[in-house]
Amino acid sequence: MVRKVLVSLGSLLADAQERGHVARNVVREKSKTRQRGVDRRVEKRQKGKLRVGVDIPTPAEIRAIVGALEGRWRPLFLTAIFAGLRASELRGLTWRDVDLKKGIIHVRQRADRFNEIGQPKSEAGERSVPIPPVVTEALTGWKKVCPKGDLNLCFPTGAGSIEGLANMRRRGWMPVQIKAGVSTDTGEEDDDGNPIMDAKYSGLHSARHFFASWLINRKEDGGLGLPLKVVQDRMGHATVSITADTYGHLFPVDTFADELAAAQAVLLGSAT
């Protein structure tokens, strides 16, 4: 019904525009905006799948980053890496939602780009995420010195208010990568002739990508080896298809070589 109404309204406005009664056809303009959205999705598909070492930090890089973390950034980025919270969820996380005794973070709200506190992106975004001891220990120590504010935030500004995403990225995530050697050469030099380095992973979302890969990787490779549905729950994805489309290629693939050889022998005989 909505589609039929929009088509009719678009036709009426097109006629009115030709007659000079209106300057714009907002319905047709909206359709063009929607098409640009489709084009962006096609472009995203063409870019290919997320790659370890390109879009997703490698385990070695994460070890280096963790070793370089200190001060207020240590508990924040450890939580990002090993709990996989979105930046908005980190910014809106309160101490009442962190159970340090049980080692669980309850995601119940987020802070949007306008610093407004609200519900997670979707119903699935409201979840409980178990955290490893390294995060629990860091949060326990940080809670004692964390700036106080009316919102009781875990990672606030020095005044206790909501921290800005740009500040977390520019003053925390990027410098710690450069310090850890997880960086790229910009091709430029400073006044002393030293190469100017830039962080390899510019967005904080790369930490969330690593968390997903950590959940998926086999235990013998240092991961948790969790099934797809559990990964979806931990990530807070609205549907399992989102998880599969984004990270499905990271799951170990069994070639079933022994089973194939046995089946072939039964079907064709050992003489083939």
Query: What is the tens place of the pLDDT at every residue in 133-180?
Result: 999 999 999 999 999 999 999 999 999 999 999 999 999 999 999 999
Domain regions of the chain by residue span = 2-47, 52-272
In degrees and rounded to multiples of 5, residue 129 shows phi and psi of -120, 120
Give the per-residue pLDDT at 32: 60
Note the CATH number of domain 52-272: 1.10.443.10
* Radius of gyration of the chain measured on its C-alpha atoms: 24
Q: CA neighbours within 13 Å on the CB side: how many for 246?
A: 21
SS3 227: coil
Residue 270 pLDDT > 90: no
Query: Does residue 76 surpass a pLDDT of 70?
Result: yes
Rounded (10°) CA dihedral 170, 172, 174, 180: 160
Q: Is the pLDDT of residue 42 over 60?
A: no
